[in-house]
Structure 1
Amino acid sequence: MSIRVLIADDHAIVRSGLSMLINAQSDMEVVDTAADGREAVDKALQIRPDIVLMDLSMPPGENGLSATARLKEHAPEIDILVLTMHDDEEYLFRVLQAGASGYILKSAPDMDLITAIRTVKQGAAYLHPSAAKSLIQEFLQRVHKGEDVDHYNILTEREQEILALIAKGYSNKEIAEQLVVSVKTVETHKTKIMEKLHLKTRPELVRYAVKKGLLDFE
C-alpha cells in the first residue's frame, strides 16, 4: 500500500515540484495539496493521509507550527514532517513540541526527503543531521549541568491534559466524553504519551504524574 502524503506549502511551484518527486516513487502518492495551515488541517481531517508534509512559513495564512499543533490534537495518528528553510534549533524544538515527527530543510537533497517520509511512516522520528546534532548538544549540556532531562515539555497541550486525566483514574471513554473526541483518539494520544515519556504501564504513568504534581483534584 502506498504512503499517502498531503503537501502544505504556500508556493504553487513548490507543491508541484514536491508532488512530481513523491509521485515518482513506487511506494508513495500525493493525495492532495494545501496552500496554508488552515487548509492543510481541514483537508487532512477529511482525507486522513498517512503523512502531512508541512511548510513552516505560509503567509498570509495559518503557519505550519500552529497547524501542526491543531492537527495533532484532532488526529494524532497522522504523522507530520515539517519542511522549512530555517536551520535554527529554536524552530527545531518548537516543531517537536508541537507534535511533528520530523524536520527537514528545503535545501536538503531530494532523496533525503524521500528517506524522511519513509522513516516517519515506519514510526520513527527524522531529523536532518544538523538538527540532530543540535538536539544532542542541548541534551548533553543539560546532563553536564546536572539538570533532570524531562520529556514532559515535548508533550502537546492536549497530551498533557490527557495524561493528567488518565492519572486521576478516568477511563478512555470518560476522557473522550469530557474532551468531546473519540475513544480511538484518546487511545492514540495515550500511546504517544507513553512513547514520549518512555513509560510502559499505567501505574508508571500515574507515578510520573504524581512526581510532576499533576494530580490536583480541585
Structure 2
Amino acid sequence: MSLRILLADDHAMFRSGLKAVLSTQDDLCCVAEVADGQAAVEETSRLTPDVAILDIRMPRLDGLRAAERILGRPRNTTKVIVLTTYDDDSYVYRALHLGVSGFLLKSVPPEETIAAIRIADRGDAIIDPSVTRRLISRFASGIAPPASSTELERLTAREHEVLILVAQGHSNTEIARALGIGDETVKTHVSRILAKLGLRDRTQAVIYAAAHQLVAPPPPLPPGTERTGRHQGGDRHRAL
C-alpha cells in the first residue's frame, strides 16, 4: 500500500518538482497539493494523508500554524514534515515543540526527502544534520546534568541501552534488530524513558543524552557549511 502524501507550498514549481520526485517511487503517492496553510489543514482533515509536507512561509496560514492545527486534531494520524529555505532557530524550536516528524532544508537532495517521508511514517523523526548539531550545542547548555544520577537510576538496564541507541540516531527498527526485541517493545521502552526522565520527545532524549555525556555530540561542521545543511563527505540526516 502506498504512503499518501499531501504537499503544501506556495511555489507551484517547487510543488511540481517534488510531486514528480514522489511519482518515481512505487510506495509513495501524492494525494493533494495546495498553495497555502489553510488549504493544507482543510485537505488534511478531508483526506487524512499519511504525511503532510509543509513549507513554513505560506499565505493565509503559515506552515507552523498549519502544523499545529493538523497535529492538534483529535485522533490525528498524519505525520508532518517541515521543509524550508530559512534555516532559522526560532522555526526549529517551534516546529519541535509542536511535535513535527521532520525539519529539513529545501536544499536537501530529493532522495533524502523521500527517506524522510518513510522515516516519519514509521514514527521516527528526522532533522537536517546542521540543525541537529546546533540544537545539541545550544540546548545542552540549558539542560544541566543533575547533581546526582537519580534520574538515570530510574531507568532499567535495557532502557539505558535503548536511550543510548536513540541518542546515536538509530530508528526503532534498528534498535529492535540490535537488541533482539520487537519494534513494539522498543516503542514501549522509549515511552517509559521519556516519562521517567521528564522528556517530551525523542529529540529531547538526544539532547539529554548529549548533555549528560552518555554519547558524544556530533563534530562541528566545517566552516561555511552550516547554513546549507550539507556536510563534507556527504553527511546524512540524523533520524531521531
TM-score bin, normalised by smaller chain: 0.5 to 0.7
Residue 134 of structure 1 deviates from its aligned partner by: 1.5
The percent of aligned pairs where both chains have the same amino acid is 37
| 2:70 alignment partner in structure 1 | 71
- Per the alignment, do residues 47 and 122 of structure 1 end up closer, same or farther by CA in structure 2, a change over 3 Å counting? same
2:223 is matched with which residue?
none
Cα distance in 1, alignment partners of residues 191 and 107 from structure 2: 30
- Higher helix content, 1 or 2: 1
How much does 1:91 deviate? Answer: 1.1
Tell me the CA shift for residue 199 of structure 1: 2.3
> Which residue of the partner structure matches residue 84 of structure 1?
84
Residues 42 and 195 (structure 1), Cα distance of their counterparts in 2 relative to 1, 3 Å cut: farther
For 1:193-208, list aligned pairs within 5 A. 195=191, 198-199=194-195
| Cα offset, 1:195, TM superposition | 4.3
Which contiguous aligned blocks of 4+ residues in structure 1 show a shift greater than 4 angstroms? 144-147, 194-197
Unpaired runs of 5+ in structure 2? 148-186, 197-240
TM-score (norm 1): 0.65
Q: 1:84, CA displacement in angstroms?
A: 0.3
Q: Deviations over 1:60-106 (max 9, x none)?
A: x2100110001111153210000001112221111111221110001
Partner of 2:119: 119
Q: How many residues align?
A: 154
Q: RMSD of the alignment, in Å?
A: 2.3
Aligned mates of 2:23, 2:51 — CA distance in 1: 14
Comparing both chains, which one has the higher relative contact order based on Cα–Cα distances under 8 Å and sequence gaps of 6 or more? 2
Q: Identify the residue that residue 31 of structure 2 maps to in structure 1.
A: 31
Q: Deviations over 1:15-39 (max 9, x none)?
A: 1111000111111010111111100
Partner of 1:15: 15
Change (3 A) 1:95 1:27: same
Distance in 2 between the 1:38 and 1:196 partners? 36
TM-score w.r.t. structure 2 length? Answer: 0.60
Paired letter, 2:22: I
